[in-house]
Structure 1
Amino acid sequence: MTRGWIRPGATRPCSLVVCRGCCCGDPRKNPGTDHAGQLERLRQAAAASGGRLAVRTSDCLGPCGQANVVVVQPSTEARRRGARAAWIGWALDDDCLDDILAWVEAGGPGLAEPPATLALQMIDPPADARRRAR
């Protein structure tokens, strides 16, 4: 089966995978966070990026103890240089979103260093994600 959105040789922008499953995005777990507002802000940034950023959601990425989780996936260019996805935990406030968006604007994983505060929030991906990345 061929997926129309993945073309051989196509270049992909840096993309954000925003967990919105059992724990992430749940106001009962993190009641002080505007989960819907966060997602809308990221989607607006993607729309304004001119194709340099894509945003999608996932039902559950796994590390529920570090909710909210956002995975920053490198662009095609960065992957060619050996970059891997960066997993960010505790993405609960505007400061964290500011850091993520600034990093992506600068190029994201493999092309730019993350802000120091964001680097402190990076987490290890679950074991099954590491196996898929090899």
Structure 2
Amino acid sequence: MCQECWAGDGREVVGRVPLCGLGDRTGVRTQAVECFDVCEGDSVTVVRPSPQGRRAGGRPGWLRETHDPDVLDAVASWLEAGGPGVADMPDLVALHAFTPPRRVRVVHEE
């Protein structure tokens, strides 16, 4: 997830706190990155598939604007169900999905 982007408007702390707690809620590992360079004014979260999900053909899910509590709950439920490749992306989460440029995917999906 984005560490501090949010277009420099001071919302970083508000947005990062619930996202950083997502790992505690779901038991998955979270990792902050310096910059994905695709935020266009809001935070970006990448949900990588587990090894099981990757074997099942799961690909990373790129999400924007995930700081809303309802969206966070939907992301947490998706992760608890197995995430990409194991469980279908919830409709609410899908509304926040996007495809970044290939140059960004190559760097961050490895």
The TM-score with structure 1 as length reference comes to 0.69
State the partner residue of 1:87. Answer: 62
State the partner residue of 2:4. Answer: 21
Residues 127, 29 of structure 1: alpha-carbon distance in 2 compared, 3 angstrom cutoff: farther
Task: Give the alignment of 1:52-91 within 5 angstroms.
Answer: 53-65=28-40, 67-91=42-66
Deviation, structure 1 residue 90: 1.1
Deviation, structure 1 residue 71: 0.3
Q: Percent of aligned pairs with the same residue?
A: 31
- List per-residue Cα deviations over 1:23-63 (Å, max 9, x = no partner): 37x5x1648x72242134224225xx2xxx11110011121
| Contact residue 88 and residue 121 of structure 1 kept, 8 A | yes
| Counterpart Cα distance in 2 of 1:118 and 1:66 | 18
| Counterpart Cα distance in 2 of 1:36 and 1:23 | 10
| Counterpart Cα distance in 1 of 2:67 and 2:106 | 27
| Contact residue 66 and residue 90 of structure 1 kept, 8 A | no
C-alpha RMSD of matched pairs (Å): 2.4
| Contact residue 62 and residue 126 of structure 1 kept, 8 A | no
The TM-score with structure 2 as length reference comes to 0.82
* 1:102 and 2:85 matched: no
User: Which consecutive residues of structure 1, in runs of 5 or more, have no partner in the other structure?
Assistant: 1-17
State the partner residue of 1:5. Answer: none
Number of equivalenced pairs: 109
More helix by share: 2
More strand by share: 1
Deviation, structure 1 residue 85: 0.2
Residues 84, 36 of structure 1: alpha-carbon distance in 2 compared, 3 angstrom cutoff: closer
* 1:45 and 2:20 matched: no
